[in-house]
Amino acid sequence: MRATQQLHDLGQSIWLDNITRGLLTSGTLRHYIEELSVTGLTSNPTIFDKAIEDSDFYDSAIRQKTAEGKSGEVLFFELALEDVTRAADLFRPVHDASAGVDGWVSLEVSPLLADDTAGTVKAAVQLHGRGKRPNLFIKIPATPGGIPAIEEAIFAGVPVNATLLFSREQYLGAAEAYTRGIERRIDAGLDPKVGSVASLFVSRWDVAVKDRVAKPLRNRLGIAIAKQTYRAYRELLASSRWKRLLAAGARPQRLLWASTGTKDPDAPETLYIEALAAPDTVNTMPEKTLLAFFDRGKINTALPDDGGDAETVLANFARAGVDAVALASDLQHDGTLSFANSWNALMDCIASKSALLGKAR
């Protein structure tokens, strides 16, 4: 049995961390669904920037929309919604068969709204409404401005992928926002079934400390943070508070491992996938990592509910001078800036393509 099927049978969903029009039109995404046990998909500004810049799949649509007077964010979100809704339709059978637990696709609000709570909520409601798909997540960064936006979006019935999480504490903040949103819906007599995942970024930890720690500690910090967060996730789901919500018909917010492609060329390509095999979670994989795991991955043991050796490993990093709390804040800040830069590059790409294709008409 292939490793991807083994991971699926363990109870971890495999999502693709990529979307391009080529993946959709070529049948590649359908192949991944049918043969590689892929049950969902995530996107972000960097992915769309690369997809649009490095191919001509979008040229016809850009030419047409430019002729209609559309530009910038308006033009981009039309392109993105065309892609994600098509992907959502491919995953709809999975979504229906899992009673809404799986089969999701994600589209992010503008990263420039990271500190704008009201603007984020408005954008999330509008994007989900335009998508008209029950299995569409709207990604909201769990920044200080994003946390209250997550609660309000959930209360409004918008499924949310809470993204840019880097630590147990940041995860718990996003989980609290989700929980409050569901509790408010129950109090208001609304359906408590609003889907959500909380996306913890893993590999960026190891990139950040690779030149600051001895070789035996390299490529271990991200996994330890993930294990520590998994323990908090399990404890939350076992709490009396969540048991009451489950009894009322609510659905747990699943923990998702993001940024699971190996950045160190000397480390195995499947390092984070094999280390973080855990029931009731999601792993969203870059295409290269997915294919490597399908070809030669192995599942040894599932992640223990108590986080295993997480605290011991984190203590070793503390002794090596790594302040995980401060670094988590820095990573989220840097991640927010990185996505904003990608967004600006994406807008530049669309503008230049629009101008070039307009001249070619």
Q: What percent of the chain has pLDDT over 90?
A: 95
Q: What is the pLDDT of residue 159?
A: 98
Q: Residue 361 falls within a domain, yes or no? A: no
Dihedral (CA of 276, 47, 9, 37) sign: negative
pLDDT in tens, 138-175: 999 999 999 999 999 999 999 999 999 999 999 999 99
Lowest-confidence region among 14-28, 45-59, 96-110:
45-59
Residue 294 lies in a domain: yes
Confidence of residue 215 (pLDDT cuts 50, 70, 90): very high
CA distances from 275 to 216, 270, 292, 301 (A): 16, 8, 15, 8
Q: Which residue in 139, 215, 288, 359 is the catalytic one?
A: 139
* Strand blocks (E) in 195-320: 196-201, 254-258, 281-285
Domain membership flag for residue 149: yes
Does a structural domain hold residue 343? yes
In a domain, 171, yes or no: yes
**pLDDT, tens digit, 9 for 90 and up, residues 167-210:** 999 999 999 999 999 999 999 999 999 999 999 999 999 999 99
CATH code where residue 99 lies = 3.20.20.70
C-alpha span between 107 and 77 (Å, rounded)? 9
Give the model confidence (pLDDT) of 253-306 as tens digits. Answer: 999 999 999 999 999 999 999 999 999 999 999 999 999 999 999 998 899 999
Burial 280-302 (b: 16+ CB within 10 A, else e): bbbbbbbeebbbbbbeebebeee
Range of the domain at 178: 3-356
Of the candidates 95, 91, 128, which has an alpha carbon nearest to the alpha carbon of residue 16?
91
End-to-end C-alpha distance for the chain, whole angstroms = 52
User: Does the pLDDT value for residue 360 go beyond 70?
Assistant: no
pTM for the model stands at 0.96
Answer whether 283's CB lies under 8 Å from 14's CB.
Answer: yes
353 is catalytic: no
Q: State how far the Cα of 304 lies from the Cα of 300, in Å rounded to an integer.
A: 12
Average pLDDT, the chain: 96
Residue 137's DSSP bridge partners are 106
Output the pLDDT for position 361.
56
Residue 223 lies in a domain: yes
Count of domains in the chain? 1
Q: Which residues, other chains included, contact 206 with Cβ-Cβ below 8 Å and sequence gap of 6+?
A: 218, 219, 220, 221, 222, 263, 264
Burial bucket for residue 218 (CB in 10 Å: 0-12, 13-18, 19+): middle
* Helix-, strand-, coil-residue percentages of the chain, each rounded to 5: 60, 10, 30
Mean pLDDT of 107-128: 96
pLDDT band at 93 (very low <50, low <70, confident <90, very high): very high
Residue 110 lies in a domain: yes
Helix (H, G, I), strand (E, B) or coil at 164: strand
**Both structure tokens of 244:** 């009451």
Q: Is residue 158 part of a domain?
A: yes
Average pLDDT of span 57-79: 94
